[in-house]
Amino acid sequence: MIYVFDTSSFIVLGHYFPQRFPSFWQNLDQAVADGEVLSVREVLNELKGRGNKPHAARIPNVCDHFDIPWTSIEGFMEHMGWKF
């Protein structure tokens, strides 16, 4: 099966941190290597300039409620030792 990714698909992938979801990234890398994941040049053009910024979602309302330091989702997952 062939999967054609658009810009939003690549943006959403930023929520799957490589250190927290290693099996996901291994499988995606293999699918790309096997030619199962494709895209178009315009997607590359749309992604240029976005930078490769790490996802840093802040959750102040939850953190304040439970009186814990603010962190990113990835930081929380790392603190908890979660890997998928």
> What would the pLDDT profile of 25-81 be if each residue is shown by its tens digit?
999 889 888 988 888 888 787 877 665 444 433 344 555 666 666 666 677 677 778
**Segment 6-32, tens digit of pLDDT:** 888 888 888 888 888 999 999 988 988
- Token duo for residue 28: 């995606």
3-class state of residue 38 by DSSP: strand
Nearest to 43 by CA among 83, 70, 74, 3: 3
| Contact predicate 31/3, CB 8 Å | yes
Q: Can you give the pTM of this predicted structure?
A: 0.58
Q: Which domain holds residue 34?
A: 3-80
DSSP state of 37: E
**Domain total for the chain?**
1
